[in-house]
Structure 1
């Protein structure tokens, strides 16, 4: 075998090996003529088989591709010439070519040491299709994830709760808008910040133990309060839930918080209402008996004044007048106590607040020492509000006297009245609706209050004064007066710097009513008409009998409702009946009225009670006046005129 034959045999063997490679393969010499190839090259790239011979120039292959448009539009000869010139540079190259039918071929060429180059052609169509499919899947999943995140954020932004996530540090990683706003932050500004920086040192020191427990794997619930920039104290209930992995590691904790301010306010209002109900039940029975005693005292004092020649016995008048005044003050105290406990406001009507406030100066003329100056500034507001004038004057007197007691060394009590349109934030502080209000401010520069005292200031019977010198009803009475007028009250006080109490009354558009407290027109006395008095307390009955006799009436007295019914049946001359409402162990006065009207329709009847109003307002007989004990002879006379004229 010749050397040429041996060389050819080896080339044939190499060609057979190359045909088994699943990539296209070609070798061109320094003259760009084909030296070696494999079948995969021609089948993959669909070259005509007549080109598969040694010595075929590269331009023949390029011309086939250019004619099929695989290099894009343009003149075929120009395209082939440019590519031949580039191939003569024998530079390494790798690129992907997408054929017109969509096949993707990766072409990788490397120069040979003696000139020429070897090139491999790899069909990567399937790989690129799979990659494109993966990219579409990733894009779809990313879109779905983004939608899920947007949906989750939409939910967290709209639920009425504060939601956050804390990672170790502790660092905020997420917070919804409500949570961020609670701490005067934004969703963007709170993320990535240390919890202590957001909460502040004081609040963080209180909440840090709960956060530590959560990072130890415990679910924690707690409450805390925080003073907002508006000055309103807000309350929050929070739960921390650890974020655990399957193996028990804690990655962070979820925070779920609910604003409990309104609930706390409702709970406080309910507790206040329950306290008031208890006070009402306690004072109701006491007031009835106490007013009976006052009725006896006042009635006997007035009887003495009628029977004794006062000008001839001036010393007796000096003793009777203080007794009468003390009894009247006791009656007023009982009415205040019941009004506060039950929320009564018997004479609420539209009034101008400025002249009503100005009256306090005269009321307090003898109650303030020379070391205390009272300064009034009322010209800035001519508001009309709905208020009980007697209750308001009493409340204002209480505030001024409290201010006086807080300045043992003297000082200034300033009372000012202004009109203001309360914003939502200001209205919330007072506990009223936004809108126009008359703001009455009583300010002193006395001792001030501690925070603990300020919180309890409106509690009934709470007093900082020594036992026996304060009833604990002063500020609660003020509170009741303001709330019954639809208003609110605030206390600002600093120990050693004084106290400012602000009252807010809703302004109304109405004509003011009369401001005087006169009982009415002069009344006329009786002319011997026979009146039956029914009361199981003989002392009270005797006092009422004496009052009626002094007014010119004839009187029968009984302590039994059964006797009263018999007397009305048998004594036709009885022209009217006055009965107590509460008579233990007997038919009460309301039931007696109903029975009397069955037996003698049209018989005038009036009732008496030691309560502020009847013990059961709804049970009061229609068209039946009720005399509150103790009552004056003038009120009794007016009531008799009213029922006898009907």
Structure 2
């Protein structure tokens, strides 16, 4: 049942201006009033309230510029021709009531130009009366406030994403702890089984599902957090090459893959795992755009963008490492292109897409000071070009080992601090299986006691960023005071919790991780010089 609108007539001052004042102005030097109306930057119309349909009897050049309609096309018509499918019926009802009651009114309407593009119109309507006080005309002033409404929409979107970010951050730490346990013990169980064991295939499926869940969590965190949480660098070409095997498995046999990577491109100030996310999300998007098959081309190159470059108008000047992903798929129209980076926007069938892939890409790239360009037309495929500022030369992180089979052994003493017992058990199991001596602590207090009383060296401390009685960063400082030269590896299920500078004595590993990934990182930290 359609709800009934109960509208009250707007409360306005007496009809303005008073007839006596109009006569005085007309008798004086205000013959310039018509010229002023013609010169106004805002749109202006006058309607005849004495005739049916309230037709327009005057429109100024500002109205013609705003709407695209000429005076000849406008005069004699009711203002309804400016309305369209997204014009708010409630605002229209307010406007019509004011006209019936001969009152002034201000409304905001989505109106449509002659070319049917929309604009936000802040419309002010005022009645005009003759010498006897009878309303004979209405004056309408049209103000295009589209830029303000767009800023308002961006602000509302930012507020929505802040709420999503808080919700995501609130559950991410615990969720990633659970995934660390699931993925960790699954890998450990697989290591104990022969390849042809009946349970091996089932455990492999568990591991694959765990990795997919971890990937979804990373996507949620990538667009909801304000920063990456760590400052590190990656080689764009090496990381892209490292994704090739996984991409081939994902796109299937119907899509041809061409990978061309440049050399001597320097590094970019993005975590290698985030670079992988960019490459994989763009590749998956391209695959889904080619349901009947096609060609996916991924290339990297170095680019110097000068001032005023016509082909890079939206990219500031500088030196960039560039990733370009093109497909021969169905392409996109302008309306779709305008929305593809919105979180949760997807053109895929229900259940086939989260709408987070491209929003994740743009958030990572913007967080690194980069830019994303998209070129696409229906039936002509799509090209995404990602510009990442090249970083000052520095050692890059090793490319993550995507096989999951890399094993690093050691003999050193490692202190593991985590209040989540199953997560702590996974880490201890992984390290002991590779030859390390492991000390365990459930909170900062226990960790400091062990650091001060252990009879022998402690080479590395691994701590969650959030542990009872102290933060991981604060605990690291106290541990180093007790054990000068101690190296620290901080882990967390939500890397937005803290900013971490990786150096010779400190490093960061995001949860969820597998035993192999933990062992690889531990070995890398211990071997740093």
TM-score (norm 2): 0.68
Correspondence for 1:59: none
- Counterpart pick for 2:413 among 515, 521, 530: 530
- 1:311-390 to 2 correspondences below 5 Å: 315=198, 317-342=200-225, 344=227, 365-367=248-250, 389-390=275-276
The 3-state SS of whatever aligns with 2:506 is: coil
- Counterpart pick for 2:71 among 180, 183, 190: 190
Aligned equivalents of 1:603, 1:298: Cα separation in 2: 29
Deviation at 1:166, TM superposition (A): 1.2
Q: Is residue 453 of structure 2 the alignment partner of residue 567 of structure 1? A: no
Deviation at 1:201, TM superposition (A): 6.9
Q: Is residue 395 of structure 2 the alignment partner of residue 395 of structure 1? A: no
Deviation at 1:164, TM superposition (A): 0.6
Correspondence for 2:130: 245
Deviation at 1:595, TM superposition (A): 2.9
Q: Is residue 507 of structure 2 the alignment partner of residue 625 of structure 1? A: yes
Deviation at 1:290, TM superposition (A): 2.4
Aligned equivalents of 1:637, 1:377: Cα separation in 2: 27
Aligned equivalents of 1:320, 1:500: Cα separation in 2: 39
Which has more helix, going by share of residues?
Answer: 1
Deviation at 1:183, TM superposition (A): 1.6
In the alignment, structure 2 segments of 5+ residues that lack a partner are 1-25, 49-53
Deviation at 1:549, TM superposition (A): 1.9
1:262–1:539 CA distance, 2 compared to 1 (3 A): same
Aligned equivalents of 1:261, 1:627: Cα separation in 2: 45
Aligned equivalents of 1:531, 1:358: Cα separation in 2: 33
In the alignment, structure 1 segments of 5+ residues that lack a partner are 1-140
**1:142-174 deviations in whole A, cap 9, x for unaligned?**
9954667656766x33xxxx2313131522524
The 3-state SS of whatever aligns with 2:103 is: coil
Correspondence for 1:96: none
Q: Is residue 465 of structure 2 the alignment partner of residue 581 of structure 1? A: yes
1:492–1:275 CA distance, 2 compared to 1 (3 A): farther
Correspondence for 1:164: 44
Correspondence for 2:422: 539
Aligned equivalents of 1:195, 1:514: Cα separation in 2: 73
Deviation at 1:557, TM superposition (A): 1.0
**1:268-313 deviations in whole A, cap 9, x for unaligned?**
22222222222222222332222222322333344345555x37x5
**1:222-281 deviations in whole A, cap 9, x for unaligned?**
333356689965322222222233533223222223322222222222222222222222
Deviation at 1:443, TM superposition (A): 6.3
- Counterpart pick for 1:274 among 152, 159, 177: 159
The 3-state SS of whatever aligns with 2:497 is: coil
Deviation at 1:554, TM superposition (A): 0.9
Deviation at 1:339, TM superposition (A): 0.9
Aligned equivalents of 1:348, 1:620: Cα separation in 2: 10
Aligned equivalents of 1:223, 1:517: Cα separation in 2: 55
1:513–1:531 CA distance, 2 compared to 1 (3 A): closer
Deviation at 1:374, TM superposition (A): 6.0
Correspondence for 1:256: 141
Correspondence for 2:7: none
Deviation at 1:625, TM superposition (A): 1.6
Contact 2:59 2:74 in 1 (8 A): no
Q: Is residue 61 of structure 2 the alignment partner of residue 180 of structure 1? A: no
1:434–1:457 CA distance, 2 compared to 1 (3 A): closer
- Counterpart pick for 1:222 among 97, 107, 114: 107
1:514–1:180 CA distance, 2 compared to 1 (3 A): farther
1:595–1:463 CA distance, 2 compared to 1 (3 A): farther
Aligned equivalents of 2:281, 2:140: Cα separation in 1: 47
- Counterpart pick for 1:284 among 169, 180, 203: 169
RMSD: 5.5
Aligned equivalents of 1:245, 1:640: Cα separation in 2: 90
TM-score (norm 1): 0.57
Correspondence for 2:15: none
- How many corresponding residue pairs? 473
1:596–1:184 CA distance, 2 compared to 1 (3 A): same
The 3-state SS of whatever aligns with 1:257 is: strand
Correspondence for 2:121: 236
Aligned equivalents of 1:620, 1:517: Cα separation in 2: 13
1:181–1:397 CA distance, 2 compared to 1 (3 A): same
Deviation at 1:501, TM superposition (A): 6.0
Deviation at 1:541, TM superposition (A): 1.3
Deviation at 1:483, TM superposition (A): 5.1
Deviation at 1:551, TM superposition (A): 3.3
Aligned equivalents of 1:334, 1:303: Cα separation in 2: 22
Q: Is residue 179 of structure 2 the alignment partner of residue 294 of structure 1? A: yes
Q: Is residue 518 of structure 2 the alignment partner of residue 518 of structure 1? A: no
Deviation at 1:635, TM superposition (A): 4.8
Contact 1:215 1:252 in 2 (8 A): no
Larger Rg: 1
Contact 2:104 2:125 in 1 (8 A): yes
Aligned equivalents of 2:330, 2:113: Cα separation in 1: 27
Aligned equivalents of 2:176, 2:239: Cα separation in 1: 29
Contact 1:439 1:505 in 2 (8 A): yes
1:442–1:184 CA distance, 2 compared to 1 (3 A): farther
Higher alpha-carbon deviation: 290-299 or 437-446: 437-446
Correspondence for 1:556: 439
Contact 2:489 2:509 in 1 (8 A): yes
